[in-house]
Amino acid sequence: MDSPRIRQLAAVAVALSLWSLGAQPELWTLVLAYALAVLGLSASSAMRRLGQLPRGLGLSLLLLLLAPGALGAYRMHADFASSEALSGAWPVLVDRLRLEREPAIAPPLLSRDRAQTFFVRAKGATGMRARLGEGTREVAAEALGHGVFRVEYDPRVHGAPKQREGALDIEIDVDGTITHRQLTVVTPRAHPRWLARSPDGSRAATVSRETDELILLSSRGLVQRVEVGDEPVDCVFIDEKRLLVAHASAEKLSLVDAHSFSVSEGPAVGRWQRRLARSPTGDMLAVLRDGPAPELLLLTSPELPIAARLPLDAVPQWVAFGHDGSTVAVAHARDARLTRYRLGSDGQLRPAGELKLGRAAVTLRRSPSGDRWLLSATDFRPDGSRHLGNHFVQDQVLEVDSDSLKVIRRLLTARRTPRQSKPGDTDRGLSPMGLHQAADGSLLVAFAGSEELARFGKDASGPLSIDTAEAGIYAPHDLVELRDGTLIISSPSAGALGMLDPGSDALRPLRLEPGDGYLLRHDSAALARRAGERGFYESTRSGISCQSCHMHGDSDHGAHNLGDHRLLPTLGVRGLLGTAPFLRDGSYARLSELDHVAQTLYRGYLRHAPGRRNTLALYMAALPRARSFRSGEARDLAAERRGLNAFMRAQCDRCHTPPAFSHLGQHRVGNLFPELLPGYAVDDSLDTPSLLSVSATAPYLNDGRAASLAEVLDEHNPNNLHGDVAALDEKQRRDLLVFLESL
């Protein structure tokens, strides 16, 4: 045998044995063990004797010598990887390599239910076309400059891929050369969420944004499923014959005949439609719009002209009428308040008082008489301050007097029951979401976090509770009572509705999508996401769920103490696929690792589900990124190209590298923002966020101190370390903002 090789192998074997005997699985101890092994073996005559043995016998002895060290190293490899920050190296490396292979495309997710924008980088290319899977038409890309291209894809125009789930092979034609790349394709299923009741109480309706449907219901069950156009987000009965439907991406509302089920165009109110409400007498309808210019509109029934419109100064979430059509309440998210508006005799809407909540309303509903508003919340701070508790959540329902705007009843819903199987705080009354005041005055609540339907007596007695999960109604969102006493409950994650007949305590499911058994056999990916979505809403025993802060995958626009005594704004969890590592400091390499926090810090989930960490990760990875506020608008391509030039001139691409507009790396806080020290530790890191959809994700920077992108450039870069913004003149900065808003 070759003596140098024998010495090397023997040194490795001895070094691993010495290292595995130590208590510190770190790189420096491994190097020290190897040095000691080399020195010890150099002074020994055993190596010369080993080299004189026959090859087979010598190798056998070396393997025996290597076995104890190899076994010890295997036991220590996880601790070693953790101590050297290598435990997440592989998923991060995979994501980075994908973005380094030109032509590179981002984001890596294609959702078959909606229009999406993709960016491609191919340095030196002059033209590009893309075909996003078999069954789609070729899409011409817009050249933005610097080898960056934009692909605007709409399944309604270009066709949806034949493949419904999994790795999707796509073709990118760069200057006549076709390259194959992969995206992950998902097909969202029906998600009935918010319910509307007809004026006479005989029917109810809901929409499914994912499948572009309006769903009509009666006490007998399903009446009709009606295709109403792209991305319906809410519906309301105008009267017994007509419904109004709002769309996230359309200029006009839709009108649906409740008997013939025909669909026609309604009034043009603008894009970014969000919520609808009907006045008690039906003479007025309210429309909320969010997006870059949020506003409240009032329409007059039956012809639906716009009677009044009011620009809003904060993101609106919910709208509800009061006693009549002249009083409207709007729940604002970003500054967590309930504002009352009144319609004056001059036709103008004006603020008429507000109630500070401290945390955004999860749901807002009107009582039948209109004398109060019902809202659910994860906390209530009447002074408007933020709670300093680590991830503090205190689920509750508030009843607010519509005249005085005073809280007349505060119902803390979370409670501990004998169901508890292990130490913890609560297991019932978690994440109240659906609210409805019944005909007898009792309060009906659907709890998404603990999967129950509860009835609280008007004298605060109760609750009487029904487990909705037993009927396959997971994470219930909303509920209404029809005039005959039938209750209808929505379950987006199950793709189902639950019907509860008067006098019964057994829900009967009304499925809009196949059940779990069918999906297990025919669509395991959809089943895994269904389980993950259920887990997203399920509460832990400490009373907190993912949904508590990341409402429906977005941000609650609140500020939370995340354990380091700072109040930091909540981030949305959309568009995470292909962007490892995760969290502000990049401390988690895999989405599934976030389960560790729930199982330890928050005392575990209510039910035992061994695969939850993986299904939860699959659900979040399938959430498409938020839509840019400029998507669907007429573009100023010349300004965007100038903006990209400014982006490159300021060296923003060094960290926010196209096409993901992130290099997926981290930076020391002090290197970028030394003005924040000593509030941060010297080794605190910040993960580089993607700038895709950045226009829809305010506030900005690690602590949310910038309310706008303009503030990021002009006010919060005093040392010119967060991009060389000083190299840009005023016009270049304006063009840069146009470009960022287009991403």
CB-side neighbour CA atoms (13 Å) of 552: 14
Q: 676: pLDDT confidence band, cut at 50, 70 and 90?
A: confident
Q: What is the pLDDT of residue 5?
A: 64
Report cis status (omega within 30 of 0) of the bond before 514.
Answer: no
* 100-121: average pLDDT: 95
Higher-scoring residue by pLDDT: 233, 60: 233
122 and 43 in a common domain: no
Report the alpha-carbon distance of residue 323 to residue 279 in Å, rounded: 8
* Degrees to nearest 5, angle at CA 601 with 474 and 85: 110
591 and 641 in a common domain: no
Residue 474: which residues within 8 A CB-CB, separation 6 or more? Answer: 451, 468, 491, 493, 494, 530, 533, 534, 537
* 534-546: average pLDDT: 94
Report cis status (omega within 30 of 0) of the bond before 368.
Answer: no
Q: 50: pLDDT confidence band, cut at 50, 70 and 90?
A: low
The distance between the two most distant Cα atoms of the chain, rounded to a whole number of Å, is 107
66 and 158 in a common domain: no
Report the alpha-carbon distance of residue 296 to residue 573 in Å, rounded: 27
Please state, in angstroms and as integers, the Cα–Cα distance from residue 686 to each residue in 78, 96, 626, 671, 683, following that order.
24, 17, 22, 10, 10
Q: Please identify, among 135, 160, 186, the residue that sits at the C-terminal boundary of a domain.
A: 186
Q: 31: pLDDT confidence band, cut at 50, 70 and 90?
A: confident
511-534: pLDDT as tens digits? 999 999 999 999 999 999 999 999
Please state, in angstroms and as integers, the Cα–Cα distance from residue 527 to each residue in 181, 192, 460, following that order.
26, 17, 39
Residue 709, judged by CB atoms within 10 A of its CB (0-12, 13-18, 19+), counts as: middle
312-359: pLDDT as tens digits? 988 899 999 999 999 999 999 888 999 999 999 999 999 999 999 999
612 and 480 in a common domain: yes
Q: Are strands 396-401 and 464-467 parallel, antiparallel or unpaired?
A: unpaired
419-441: pLDDT as tens digits? 766 666 888 999 999 999 998 88
Q: Tokens representing 85?
A: 């920050």
**In one letter, which amino acid is 360?**
A
**In one letter, which amino acid is 372?**
R
Q: What is the pLDDT of residue 726?
A: 94
Report cis status (omega within 30 of 0) of the bond before 68.
Answer: no
Q: Please identify, among 141, 164, 186, the residue that sits at the C-terminal boundary of a domain.
A: 186
Q: Is 574 left (phi over 0), alpha (psi -120 to 50) or beta?
A: beta
Report the alpha-carbon distance of residue 129 to residue 614 in Å, rounded: 35
The residue behind tokens 């998600």 is: 191
Would you say residue 287 lies in a domain?
Answer: no
Would you say residue 62 lies in a domain?
Answer: yes
Q: Are 4 and 11 in contact (CB under 8 A)?
A: no
Report the alpha-carbon distance of residue 492 to residue 190 in Å, rounded: 7
Q: Please identify, among 28, 52, 87, the residue that sits at the C-terminal boundary of a domain.
A: 87
Q: What is the pLDDT of residue 702?
A: 86
Q: Is 232 left (phi over 0), alpha (psi -120 to 50) or beta?
A: beta
Q: Tell how many helices (H) and how many strands (E) occur in the chain.
A: 15, 41
114 and 72 in a common domain: no
Q: Mean pLDDT score of the chain, rounded to an integer?
A: 89
Q: Which domain covers residue 26, as residue numbers?
A: 3-87
Report the alpha-carbon distance of residue 652 to residue 659 in Å, rounded: 13
Higher-scoring residue by pLDDT: 635, 47: 635
Would you say residue 72 lies in a domain?
Answer: yes
Higher-scoring residue by pLDDT: 516, 2: 516
Q: What is the pLDDT of residue 3?
A: 58
Q: Quick one: which of 383, 421, 431 has its CA closest to 548?
A: 431
Sheet holding 316-321, edge to edge: 316-321, 327-332, 337-343, 349-356
* 665-672: average pLDDT: 85
Would you say residue 253 lies in a domain?
Answer: no
470 and 617 in a common domain: yes
109 and 83 in a common domain: no
Residue 194, judged by CB atoms within 10 A of its CB (0-12, 13-18, 19+), counts as: buried
* Degrees to nearest 5, angle at CA 691 with 743 and 313: 80
- Dihedral angle, C-alpha 722, 656, 705, 736, nearest 10 °: 80
**In one letter, which amino acid is 586?**
G
Q: Are 562 and 578 in contact (CB under 8 A)?
A: no
Indicate if the pLDDT at residue 462 is higher than 80: no
Would you say residue 215 lies in a domain?
Answer: no
Percent of the chain residues topping a pLDDT of 90: 67
51-85: pLDDT as tens digits? 555 666 666 666 666 676 667 666 665 565 555 44
Indicate if the pLDDT at residue 133 is higher than 80: yes
Report the alpha-carbon distance of residue 694 to residue 710 in Å, rounded: 12
143 and 51 in a common domain: no
596-623: pLDDT as tens digits? 888 888 888 988 888 999 999 999 999 9
Q: Are 575 and 512 in contact (CB under 8 A)?
A: no
Q: Tokens representing 717?
A: 């870069």
Residues paired with 396 in a beta bridge: 377, 412
Report the alpha-carbon distance of residue 444 to residue 466 in Å, rounded: 11
- Full DSSP string of 156-183: HHH---S--SEEEEEEEEETTEEEEEEE
Q: Quick one: which of 357, 364, 402 has its CA closest to 381?
A: 357
Question: What's this model's pTM, rounded to 2 decimal places?
Answer: 0.88
Q: Tokens representing 734?
A: 């304006």
CB-side neighbour CA atoms (13 Å) of 246: 25
Would you say residue 399 lies in a domain?
Answer: no
Would you say residue 56 lies in a domain?
Answer: yes
Query: Which residue intervals of 658-729 are DSSP H helices?
Result: 669-672, 709-714
Q: What is the pLDDT of residue 146?
A: 96
Q: Are 424 and 440 in contact (CB under 8 A)?
A: no
Residue 438 φ/ψ, nearest 5 degrees: -75, 170
474 and 590 in a common domain: yes
642 and 511 in a common domain: no
- Full DSSP string of 573-626: --S-TT--SBSTT--BSSGGGGHHHHHHTT--BSS--TTHHHHHHHHHHTSPPP
Q: 503: pLDDT confidence band, cut at 50, 70 and 90?
A: confident
Would you say residue 170 lies in a domain?
Answer: yes
Output b/e per residue, 672-707; b: 16+ Cβ within 10 A. bbeebeeebeeebbbbbbbbbbbbbbbbbbbbbebe
Q: Is 570 left (phi over 0), alpha (psi -120 to 50) or beta?
A: beta
> Strands (DSSP E) along 31-147, which ranges?
104-106, 109-111, 116-121, 128-131, 139-140, 142-145
- Full DSSP string of 241-307: SEEEEEESS-SEEEEEETTT--EEEEEE--S-EEEEEE-TTSSEEEEEE-TTS-EEEEEETTT--EE
Indicate if the pLDDT at residue 553 is higher than 90: yes
522 and 426 in a common domain: yes
589 and 715 in a common domain: no
Q: 94: pLDDT confidence band, cut at 50, 70 and 90?
A: confident
Output b/e per residue, 299-319; b: 16+ Cβ within 10 A. bebeebeebbbbebebbbbbb
**In one letter, which amino acid is 105?**
I
Q: 1: pLDDT confidence band, cut at 50, 70 and 90?
A: very low
Query: Which residue intervals of 84-146 are DSSP H helices?
Result: 89-100
Q: How many domains does the chain have?
A: 4
